[in-house]
A and B are shown apart, each in its own frame.
Chain A
């Protein structure tokens, strides 16, 4: 067959591409898995009882970052596969894990610093100890990863509600998430998929707002002892949860991190 030499070159190239793609998808799944575990770990730690909340929260952040080193190891390992123009060739395969990693990283960062992790800080986390990036961080993945953070913060605010200082924290988180939402709305036209995630953010924000509303209303009318207040808020949360669930069913929320509290 006369075209064999031409096509055998393509065969090598396509096979190489497909094999690499498989490896990167697997790495991306591992990253997703590890990142999800870190998010759960962070929730577990912040829900432990602690004397000094700030120190405890910093401790959670450190534990999370430490665990996320395993993700860095994965990225270090795939670095040779995504050099040069290869990164964008395989971006679709890398992106899901990367976004999950950014979500975990930003959650740990929030617990440690109370701020949103910056683009450059994420890029730094995706670099080796000498500061050489494993690959360039796409702005889209940064923003999409961060927009998942709001769901975790909602969970964090509400599950920590009945703890000492939890209500003040919920107010903080509420304001923080609201700021995130307004910042991200600005980016929504640029980034594919961000608009959809903003809908989920709005839902999370509304949940926190309902909970915060409950504190304000109850505490303004009565000078109640702390533990009775906890009961009242617990009740409000469960009826609120029921309502939200029904609404979500109508909207058809696709967020897998949507949960029942």
Chain B
């Protein structure tokens, strides 16, 4: 190889190293924010339902602060190279999606869509080839949500909210039905999906317990659903 080609290649490879370093920096920034949110959200298990809104409000500014990170990442990734670098932030982004989804469910009782999640995290549609939420990452976030809700079903009862497990049960069953529509290949997403049935079972048991003891007025109608 002549010296010019060696230098040329070396330069190209150095550029990649530089991009990698910068992305790493942003990802660790995102990681910090995500950890703070997860830390706050753990408290939902010990917070009575009627005092949840202030807790959720304290998460929202942090979600908004992710906008900066998203914009920085979108500017770092070269056009069309989204998939080349995405492994670097997948884990952090999944947890961010999970946080957004949990806040959404606890405040409105609905499922956050992929485009809503993008909006909450400040990810613009025109960045699709550089920085976006991949379907897999969104789905990973939803599975984390289900994992968390199955715990919440138990803890809500402990805190005296007997209705929560019923709502969670309906919601999670719908998500599970959605996942069942997908032809997942044999990867971590598939394995995590396979583990969802245990969460479902746990929630079912809680619903069974509260219904059997007639702890809730809406027991009959909810079970029929």
Contact = CB atoms under 8 A, between A and B. Distances in A.
Interface stretch (B97-105, B144-152, B180-188): B180-188
A6 interface: yes
A85 B82 contact: yes
Contact of B135 (A13, A116, A118, A187): A13
A87 B80 contact: yes
Interface of chain A, helix or strand or loop or mixed? helix
Interface string B47-86: 0000000000000000000000000000000001111100
A15 B181 CA distance: 11
Contact of B128 (A11, A85, A87, A186): A85
Residue in A10, A143, A186 whose Cβ sees the most chain B Cβ within 10 Å: A10
Interface in B13-70: 13, 16-17
B83 A11 contact: no
Contacts, number: 80
A18 B187 CA distance: 12
B1 A84 contact: no
Contact of B175 (A3, A11, A118, A142): A3
Given A6-B111, A7-B181, A119-B9, A85 B174 contact: no
B111 A187 contact: no
Interface in B144-195: 174-175, 177-179, 181-185
Contacts of B179: 7
A191 interface: yes
A2 interface: yes
Given A11-B183, A88-B82, A186-B6, A116 B111 contact: no
A6 B135 CA distance: 11
A10 to B, nearest CB: 5
A89 interface: yes
Contacts of B16: 139, 190
A180 B6 CA distance: 11
A116 B177 contact: no
A226 to B, nearest CB: 34
Contacts of A6: 111, 113-114, 178
A14 B182 contact: yes
Contact of A85 (B13, B80, B183, B185): B80
Interface of B: 1, 5-6, 8-10, 12-13, 16-17, 80-84, 111, 113-114, 128-129, 135, 139, 174-175, 177-179, 181-185
6 contacts: A1-B174, A1-B177, A2-B174, A85-B83, A88-B83, A180-B1
The 4 closest A-B pairs by CB, nearest first: A7-B178, A88-B83, A89-B83, A88-B84
